[in-house]
Amino acid sequence: MSARRNPPKRRRHPATAGAPRSGKRATFDPIALEVFNHRLSAIAEEMGVALCRSAFSPNIKERRDYSCAVFDCTGALSAQAAHIPVHLGSTPLSVRAAIAHAPLRPGDVVILNDPYAGGTHLPDVTAVAPVYAGRHLVGFVANRAHHADIGGMTPGSMPLASEIYQEGFRLPPVHLVRGGKMAEDVLDLFLANTRVAEERRGDLLAQVAALRVGAARLADLVEREGAADAQRAMSALQDYAERLMRATLAELPVGTYRAVDELDDDGLGSKHIQIRVAVQIGRGRAAVDFAGTAAQVRGGINANFAVTLAAVYYVFRALARVSVPTNAGFMRPIAVAAPTGSVVNAQFPAAVAGGNVETSQRIVDVLLRALARALPDRIPAASCGSMNNVAFGGTLASAERRAGGGNGPAQFSYYETLAGGAGAGPSHPGASAVHTHMTNTMNTPIEALEAQLPVRVVRYGVRSGSGGRGRQRGGDGLVRELEFLAPAQLTLLTERRTGRPFGAAGAEAGLAGRNELVRHGRAEHLPGKVSLGVEAGDRVRVLTPGGGGWGRPASARRRKRRPRS
């Protein structure tokens, strides 16, 4: 596609070359759009660097459990850094909620975490700021970061809850900063509802600082290119992403593809919770319908619709053979329907802490299983299928003022996800001990963990042999064993402890995960979802699932061909 070649009066950047200054729709060639896409993505990436470097908690500073994004002046996603896939498609709903809350003026910042107002689960706090060039609103910047404690029943705010009220502090869209001035009453309210106030303060202010970086960079880009040209370029980039996704979908065989998978349990009595999907492909579009999926359950593995959208968008973007810009455009050809009140579209006041981290993974699994019927030579086997959540916290005996603040005993709280095995593909084995699909975090280094918390890492390594056998073997999970040096409340929120990550094309499934408590030298089995008190000297051992294999193993093929005697 060629751009209009009206010679401009001043030199203009290639991303906006040919964009008319009238109200007519601009056209841009693919190279110009790619350049502009990288410029927007660089803003989001720089925001992430600022957030990572200035945060307090290991969860953000070390594990990098956050995402940053840029939006146009209508609130449509324009670019997102390559951070956390589960935030893809869900963060835009939070931005819309922030915009609907009240007019956003220069210097404002709105925060929210309410899963029923655009959020995902309570630990994920989204911060949104408008970007102005002069008097004109030219866009928004936003980030989302997982706070390691946001109150609730248990430290780490990933409890075995039966309703949202038990999971922590729920925050609708509210101004944290007005006109560049901190709303101290809102900050005080936020900090009063966490066990580790100073750590939360540091992480929240790091989010605000990252927004300032992003706002400054976007304003500079718009001022140099012109507000009208920049807006047209953002719109054209979204249209370009839509065309690329439609081309991707047009390559898929026309038809309706169905699959079913299930969650182990909800931790409160419900088991074998089915997720069903029908994917209809045709005319460059995809319709994804979760009709028949189980109703929302009492335990906290319910996913709200924002999480379901994020999982669906992730899968289809991964199908593309070319790099598709991460913006609102590529989402347009994909329609998603989920029954109201189901485990993939939970309604208030359902508990949802695990929906974001566990159910999102199973949605990906069931979609890949369905699409394997259309693309058997491209779709990999199931990966680990769990983020293997570990949360713990407690009170130190010392009255020394530390992370908890105040004059009382020092509080500590921690959260992490553990990697597992990746599913094998037609041309490659699965990677071992990596985060897969909806999580893209790193591990917390042993040195950082032991320096900041009363624990000792006893064992951390690959769980050899846990990947499924096949022509291509599934990746292995890992083993992480922690010894507690002080009493604590421990919560495990894990999946694929009874069901196994399925293999593909006749290969074996990966091994299921296992959780153990080692007390007085004896190991006892722990459920996949459990909360319990531990004492100094106790150890928790988490063995994560391996990925499924791909293709029938050679030995099995030989056995099949051998004639009977």
pLDDT at 556: 58
Of 84-88, 179-183, 445-449, 553-557, the range with the lowest mean pLDDT is 553-557
- What digits encode the pLDDT tens for the residues 453-503? 999 999 999 999 999 999 999 999 999 999 999 999 999 999 999 999 999
pLDDT at residue 28, rounded to an integer:
73
- pLDDT single digits (tens) 410-425: 899 999 999 999 999 9
In a domain, 265, yes or no: no
Which amino acid, residue 117? Answer: A
Query: Torsion angle, CA of 80/82/86/90, rounded to 10 degrees?
Result: 0
Q: Is residue 505 part of a domain?
A: yes
pLDDT score of 41 = 94
For residue 348, what pLDDT is reported?
Answer: 96
For residue range 337-347, what is the model confidence (pLDDT) as tens digits?
A: 999 999 999 99
Cis-peptide into 349, omega within 30 deg: yes
| Residue 44 reports pLDDT greater than 90 | yes
Residue 10 clears pLDDT 50, i.e. is over it:
no
pLDDT over 90 (residue 9): no
pLDDT the model gives residue 25: 47
Instruction: Tell me if 259 sits within 8 A of 274, measured CB to CB.
Output: no
Number of domains in the chain: 2
- The average confidence (pLDDT) of the chain is 90
Q: Three-state SS for 126?
A: strand
Percent of the chain at pLDDT > 70 equals: 91
Please, which pLDDT band fits residue 393 given cuts at 50, 70 and 90?
A: very high
Q: Which of 244, 267, 301 is the last residue of a domain?
A: 244
> Last residue of some domain: 203, 218, 244?
244
pTM: 0.90
Work out the pLDDT band at 27, boundaries 50, 70, 90: low
Q: Is residue 227 part of a domain?
A: yes
Residue 133 counted as domain residue: yes
Residue 335, pLDDT above cutoff 60: yes
Does residue 251 belong to any structural domain of this protein?
Answer: no
Q: What is the pLDDT of residue 520?
A: 93
Distance between the two ends of the chain, CA-based, in angstroms? 67
- Any idea which residue has 């993974």 for tokens? 361
Is 250 within the bounds of a domain?
A: no
Please give the Cα distance from 109 to 176 (Å, whole number).
Answer: 6
pLDDT at 432 over 80: yes
Q: Is the pLDDT of residue 12 over 80?
A: no
Contact 322, 240 (CB under 8 A): no
* Inter-residue contact 127 to 69 (CB < 8 Å): no
- pLDDT recorded at residue 82: 73
Is residue 254 pLDDT above 60, yes or no?
yes
String of DSSP letters for 202-252 = HHHHHHHHHHHHHHHHHHHHHHHH-HHHHHHHHHHHHHHHHHHHHHHHHTS
323 burial class (0-12, 13-18, 19+ CB within 10 angstroms)?
A: exposed
The number of residues making up the chain comes to: 565
Which residue range is the domain that position 122 belongs to?
Answer: 30-244
Q: Is residue 204 part of a domain?
A: yes
Q: Does some domain include residue 125?
A: yes
Q: How confident is the model at residue 54 (pLDDT cuts 50, 70, 90)?
A: very high
Domain limit, last residue, from 219, 244, 269: 244
Whole-number pLDDT of residue 15: 32
Percentage of the chain beyond pLDDT 90 is 83
Residue 17, pLDDT score:
33
Answer yes or no: is pLDDT of 267 > 70. yes
pLDDT at position 405:
44
pLDDT at 8 over 60: no
pLDDT surpasses 60 at 260:
yes
